[in-house]
A = this chain, B = another copy of it.
């Protein structure tokens, strides 16, 4: 079974939801048969690269609140994070364009290091005093995740590298009906929206597991050009295949 998780590194509920999902997965009997793939979703896709600032200032401006009120809003999220055992800093945290991070996460996926990079990037953004909007920080996180430094720098320097992959994920999220993140899709059949309690993920995994059925399509004659486990390979009648 496969779970795809659309998320943005800047999204607190994605960070918290990932921990809750993992707790829910750990309680699922068939957890060893679950593959997890992370997909790109920018909360603010038009955000200009290089335009960074403090999250609390952004929140205060966005909602017309005082800095103290913005801090209180973030404290509500922080309490959720801490209840999952996650570090959560508020005052020093930046926001900005996450496009480059998504591009690097696609490179990491191609190299089998996506989970590693995502965990490091979440930790850097939410739990440490490191800005994921700084290129040198991104390089060091990617290298720490096991990627090749020269390849990472090459991807960062070429704005087109993995850009189509990021946009394809985002287009797919829209096609599947996701307006926000985190968005969890199980075997392209069941969806869970939001950083829900761990039990919800366990239940969804169980439901998806029960619901596995494959509908055969195409011809299924004895001529169907299959090799069976007894080692025999049927040869279709001449002209039956293009």
CB within 8 Å of B: which residues of A?
Answer: 1-2, 8, 10-14, 16-17, 20, 32-33, 43-45, 62, 73, 76-77, 79-80, 83, 109-112, 168, 171-172, 175-177, 179-182, 185, 187-201, 203-204, 207-208, 212, 214-220, 224-229, 231-233, 235-236, 238, 241-242
Question: Cβ of A219 and Cβ of B235 under 8 Å apart?
Answer: no
Q: Known contacts A11-B233, A32-B168: does B217 contact A190 (CB below 8 Å)?
A: yes
Q: Known contacts A193-B224, A204-B218, A242-B199: does B180 contact A212 (CB below 8 Å)?
A: no
CB closest chain-B residue, reference A217 = B204
Question: Cβ of B33 and Cβ of A171 under 8 Å apart?
Answer: yes
CB closest chain-B residue, reference A208 = B217
Besides A80-B235, A112-B112, A191-B215, 4 more A-B contacts (Cβ < 8 Å) are A13-B226, A185-B214, A188-B214, A194-B218
Question: Cβ of B225 and Cβ of A217 under 8 Å apart?
Answer: no
A106 to chain B, nearest CB (A): 10
Docked pose: A235 CA to B171 CA in angstroms: 27
The 7 closest A-B pairs by CB, nearest first: A194-B224, A110-B112, A200-B218, A180-B226, A191-B214, A195-B225, A187-B188
